[in-house]
Structure 1
Amino acid sequence: MSPSTATFNASKLRRTVLEMAYAGSTVHIACAFSIIELLAVLYRSHLRYPDNDPEHAARDFLILSKGHGVMAQYACMLERQWLSRHDIENYFSDGSLLKGLSDSRVPGLEVTSGSLGHGFSVGVGLALAAKLDQTGQRTFVLLGDGELNEGTIWEAAMFAAHHQLKDLTVLIDANGFQAMGKTEEVIDLGSIESKFISFGFETMSVDGHDEAQIHARLEALRNSTSRAPKALVARTVKGRGVSFMEHDNRWHYTRLDAESYARAIQQLSEGKA
């Protein structure tokens, strides 16, 4: 499949994530699954990569601040042909360039993230540079809801609103969990929408697994005449697509064995995702 005809099919992307996780005997499957549709829509319809070059000077920027969800991004990068099947099949093996967290040494990944709370600030800096240089480049930052516990998130939000970074869009993966439990039990976030509105962002909500709705909201934010930065709060399901992973936070750190891998692949193959 050429980059121009890539469909970024959600079930196919989830299968790639499973293949990587099983090959590398690694974790963070559920938190990759919750952002599949968000990334599919971004890569299909909203991110510009002239000449399909992930390092093109005129590209748009995607910052995966929740860097532990990187397998979902790797799956999209395979569709773009920036990665090969060899990369996927040898994920996390000795000598592999692909790590379990976002690493800026990999073309297509803009930041080294995983230490949560920092990617947003990088995105704000890129958006400010694009505004000053009048390049028209857009910057998208994907945050986890648990990541909003970090104070640096809100410092970056104030800065973005002050500088009217209208081409900055923050997407929040609001799946209700973080590594150690439910977000409402670790630190209750209250209304995420109200928080971003109060920090000066034009803010919308969306079903984070409805691709048509995601696209429509992103288009509405893009076409807005407001000079405020944008926020899209996506209500998602951690582990979405495999029934025994959904809403089960053990799959933040659980590894696949042969039986669970086969069951998960079968569900995706049968269209039960």
Structure 2
Amino acid sequence: MSAMNLKELAYELREDTVRLIYGGKTGHIGGDMSVMDILVELYFKQMNISPEQAEDENRDRFVLSKGHSMEAYYAVLAKKGFLKKEEILEQFSRFGSPYIGHPNNKLPGIEMNSGSLGHGLPVCVGMAKAGKMDKKDYRVYVVMGDGELAEGSVWEGAMAAHQYKLDNLCAIVDRNRLQISGNTEDVMGEDDLHERFRSFGWYVIDVADGNDIDQLDAAFEEAKTVKGCPTVLIANTIKGKGSSLMEHKAAWHHKVPTEEEYQQIMEDLKQAKEALK
């Protein structure tokens, strides 16, 4: 799929995500919007993964460690063919439904349950180490939120990944600088995040605009060339990306739009998609 098609797809799936949240009356909409381009680039360009490969031992592995962005992940998994879009829309967040607000590995395409922050990277270290031991060619990708990096288990995993020289492991930080409590630097400062990961023995790639498909593509391709250590992409994104109503606002971390807000957000996303043409 071309870069332009991926850019348009990211906005199309943002629209699907907003519909899901508005209909289900719940969802972490701000982080859904910031992470969407990363998910689209991974699932439709970078990763060796499909419904037909679900049991293939050499499939690439993906974990959404910031599991509260599940609505965006539903949109991507449905478009990729793992799940049925209409079924998700009908059942999301309903009593007894498997379509809950965090990854549920009883559903096709989901490797692990997540949402308890800080667990994704350590589990992916295990997946990557297993791949090395079994002499498999697959790569392991994990997306973390920047607020999540306050969890100590992240850095235990980071140390282990360096120790075992897991160059088949690529972490992505959705660096939108906002979490539920406000600005990350006010809650638990992280600058300089690049030097912090380097001090743990990681190869660090800065993605100046983490919502830009071209920059993400170049970063992921660079990551594939790294040998002898794990790689992290620091993707500088915008929380609420795509609508001026939501962008850069911590209040939209978890919020259901009103009817008026819903209409404005959908119009903003439509205009953003049309501006690409």
| TM-score bucket (shorter structure) | over 0.9
1:250 counterpart residue number: 251
CA pair 153-118 structure 1, distance change in 2 beyond 3 A:
same
In the alignment, does 2:158 pair up with 1:128? no
**Contact 2:146 2:176 survives alignment (8 Å):** yes
CA pair 94-241 structure 1, distance change in 2 beyond 3 A:
same
Give the Å deviation of 1:267. 1.4
Mapped to 1, the partners of 2:143 and 2:37 lie a distance apart of 12
Give the Å deviation of 1:72. 1.2
RMSD, matched Cα: 1.6
1:67 counterpart residue number: 67
1:137 counterpart residue number: 138
1:262 counterpart residue number: 263
2:34 counterpart residue number: 34
**Contact 1:34 1:237 survives alignment (8 Å):** yes
Runs of 4+ in structure 1 displaced over 4 angstroms? none
Mapped to 2, the partners of 1:31 and 1:202 lie a distance apart of 25
1:208 counterpart residue number: 210
Give the alignment's TM-score, normalised by structure 2.
Answer: 0.92
1:146 counterpart residue number: 147
**Contact 1:50 1:56 survives alignment (8 Å):** no
* 1:186-205 equivalence runs, <5 A: 186-205=187-206
1:80 counterpart residue number: 80
Mapped to 2, the partners of 1:93 and 1:165 lie a distance apart of 40
**Contact 2:166 2:228 survives alignment (8 Å):** yes
Mapped to 1, the partners of 2:50 and 2:13 lie a distance apart of 23
Q: Secondary structure at the match of 1:88?
A: helix
| 1:102-146 deviation line (CA, Å, top 9, x unaligned) | 121111111211110011111110000001001111000101111
2:222 counterpart residue number: 220
| Bigger mean CA deviation after superposition, 79-88 or 172-181 | 79-88
**Contact 1:27 1:251 survives alignment (8 Å):** no
**Contact 1:146 1:177 survives alignment (8 Å):** yes
CA pair 50-79 structure 1, distance change in 2 beyond 3 A:
closer
Instruction: Work out the number of aligned pairs and report it.
Output: 267
Give the Å deviation of 1:95. 3.8
**Contact 2:103 2:115 survives alignment (8 Å):** yes
Percent of residue pairs bearing the same amino acid type = 36
**Contact 2:83 2:108 survives alignment (8 Å):** no
| 1:2-50 deviation line (CA, Å, top 9, x unaligned) | xxxx957111010011011011000200011110111111011111126
In the alignment, does 2:111 pair up with 1:110? yes
Mapped to 2, the partners of 1:85 and 1:220 lie a distance apart of 33
Q: Which amino acid aligns with 1:243?
A: S
CA pair 231-187 structure 1, distance change in 2 beyond 3 A:
same
Give the alignment's TM-score, normalised by structure 1.
Answer: 0.93
Q: Secondary structure at the match of 1:270?
A: helix
- Unaligned runs of at least 5 residues, structure 1: 1-5
In the alignment, does 2:174 pair up with 1:173? yes
Q: Secondary structure at the match of 1:234?
A: strand
- Unaligned runs of at least 5 residues, structure 2: none
